[in-house]
Amino acid sequence: MNTDRKKAHFLTKVKNWPLLLPVVSLILVMAVNIVHDAATGVNPLSFFIISLNETTSNGTILYGRIIDILNRGSEVAILALGMTLVVSSSAGTDISVGSVMSLSASFCCMLLAGYGVSSTNELAVPLVVGVLAALFMGALCGAFNGTLVAYLGIQPMVATLILFSAARAIGLLLCNDLIVYVRNDSYGYFGGFTGPIPTPIIIAAICIAIVAITLNKTSMGMYIQSVGINSKASRIAGLNSKRIIFLTYLICGLFAGVAGLVNSSRITSADSNNIGLYYEMDAILAVALGGNSLGGGKFNLAGSIIGAYTIQAITTTLYALGVSTDQAPVFKAIIVIIIVAIQAPPIKAYFRKKSLEKGVAKA
């Protein structure tokens, strides 16, 4: 009897574990890779192999599919940080983050190359000016979205649709309708390597650490969740709901600026039409896959991070299975629909009812 009770208690804990959905999703993706490798005659464990390889341009670097996923998924992980806070506080999503990435990268490269210059090896201004400009532009866009949502009461989807449509066009204007190439080693560092480790992984780790420490060591995390659960009650309790929602959008924009800087540094250029394309969907999917409700309220930052890298693992797997770049978003959209459906109140109520009926039958 005690064994049955312990087993039931353990199963309940597993079902209620906040990271259950993201961890199971990640395991499923890894399983698909293992099965695919085995079916094609490749070592089934090749997905997990990490090695040090000598290259002509970057020296000795870490190499492997896991490293590639951590590297390529860094931008989505950075975006997922801000998106998690936005969803939690406003019960809405910021669909402009991909376009803000593009605008921030364009502003940075335009300053580094000089207006009207399409390609340069020498920087027109110090690198730090370009980096700060990218972060400032991201924060400015976040502040714009935050003002519309928090202070003007516009629905998040509608408010962020403005920059979703306009930011890339503004970026093209800043770059004089050109793809601006900044072929400078110092700028390429943000998308390159720090020793054997890809720099984007380090930047993502720093961003994650800053947000995690801030949320754990201050009351910010509790305030954001309180506003998301019930903004009116939070205001009565003394919290400035509008300011907190504004701040989350500001942070989201700032991280979009960081992601844009990393993304453009990888290709040492600002391509306004392609930088950050579809990244907003990946960021939203990462939040949903992390077990966070898109209806706001409580959030799990660790789940969003695991979700972000799971998205990259899914993308890598789709390409390995022969799915084209144009078709990949369709499969991701299907995953979003499934996750949102699982989180829908009627579905949750149905499974809760079935679980109670099962418990009563056993009793």
What does the pLDDT look like over 77-123, one tens digit per residue?
Answer: 999 999 999 999 998 899 999 999 999 999 999 999 998 888 999 99
Regarding predicted confidence, which is higher, 335 or 121?
121
Cβ-Cβ contacts under 8 Å for 76 (sequence gap 6 or more): 259, 279, 282, 283, 286, 308, 309, 311, 312
Strand pairing category for 193-194 and 197-198: antiparallel
The structural domains of the chain, ordered by start, are: 77-327 (1.10.3470)
Return the SS3 of 182: strand
- Give dist(CA 97, CA 79) in Å, integer: 7
Classify the phi-psi angles of 197: left when phi > 0, otherwise alpha if psi is within -120 to 50, otherwise beta.
beta
pLDDT bin (cut points 50, 70, 90) of residue 160 is very high
Q: What is the mean pLDDT of residues 253-275?
A: 94
Regarding predicted confidence, which is higher, 72 or 237?
72
The rounded mean pLDDT for the chain is 87
What does the pLDDT look like over 277-316, one tens digit per residue?
Answer: 889 988 998 998 888 888 888 888 999 999 899 889 888 8
Can you give the pLDDT at residue 206?
96
Q: DSSP of 132-165, one letter per residue?
A: HHHHHHHHHHHHHHHIIIIIT---HHHHHHHHHH
For tokens 């789709």, what's the residue? 318
Can you give the pLDDT at residue 2?
62
pLDDT of 53 higher than 70: yes
